[in-house]
Amino acid sequence: MERVLDGRTALVTGSVQGIGLAIAKALASAGARIAVHGLATQRESAAAVDAIRTSGAPDARFFDADMRNPSAIDRMMADVANWGGPDILVNNAGIQHTVSLAEATRQVWDDIIAVNLSGAFDTMRHALPKMAQRGFGRVINIASVHGLVASVNKAPYVAAKFGLIGMSRVAALEYASAGSRESGGVTVNCICPGFIETAIIEPQIVARAAHFGGDRAAGIADLLAEKQPSRRTSQPEEIGALALWLAHPMSHNVTGTAIPIDGGWTAQ
């Protein structure tokens, strides 16, 4: 792998597992130091740090912050800045709770908006001005197809992801002229996954499987048939590969986008 991110530091929220870990490993393979983050035990965080170093990161360190707590995010961003970054910010931390609008509690709403939207606002407002000063920066927000289209029983999640895409586009416009082609510029983009094989969709799979006597494969097939025309899930590593491309210096003019990886879901 070409070490195009040597000397860069990336903060990837929610990077102890799933999509976040895959993105962290992809950026590490190109030479970036990785600030690892997530809700994890000491053993889990240590395992993630080791995996990221093995993938090529010259250094990796775990940073702890509850993304529902702005003060905790402020502290984390100050700590990462003191460590030398972030040059690349990936807002991947997210939660979902499938529930009807009528049955959703205010706590469910507050938690999902806080983690999936407000947390990204707090990291971006710290990171982007410093990126502009350096003339290089990449913000990659992991949104969702549910930032582009709606589904029933996901009002808080859809609201957060639509908001994340909108906020990202504003930030892209505000920082579009920062830096230069030579320095790499500052870009802000969203990746919008469809069904990815991660823990976040497991409750939906279990619910569908229950209609088929607990057959998990049948539950997955039924879930995808409704939304994703390819009828194939994606792997976290596929999201990591796109994130790495967006972080590449050659992507200096790719900004304000929301790129689906959804097997044709949003083409319908």
Q: Could you give the residue numbers annotated as active site?
A: 157
**C-alpha–C-alpha distance, residues 24 and 35, integer Å:** 9
Q: SS3 string of 175-238?
A: CCCCCCCCCCEEEEEEEEECCECCHHHHHHHHHHHHHHCCCHHHHHHHHHHHHCCCCCCECHHH
**Tokens linked to 222:** 């039924």
Both ends of the chain: CA-CA distance in Å?
A: 36
Q: Measured over all CA atoms, what is the biggest interatomic distance in the chain, rounded to whole angstroms? A: 58
Is 161 strand, coil or helix?
A: helix
202 Cβ contact list (under 8 Å, min separation 6): none
**Cβ neighbours around 50 below 10 Å, total:** 11
Sheet holding 60-63, edge to edge: 60-63, 33-37, 9-12, 88-91, 136-142, 185-193, 258-261
Torsions phi, psi for 61 (to 5 deg): -145, 145
Task: Give the separation between CA 188 and CA 265, rounded to whole angstroms.
Answer: 23
Specify which residues 12 forms β-bridges with: 36, 90
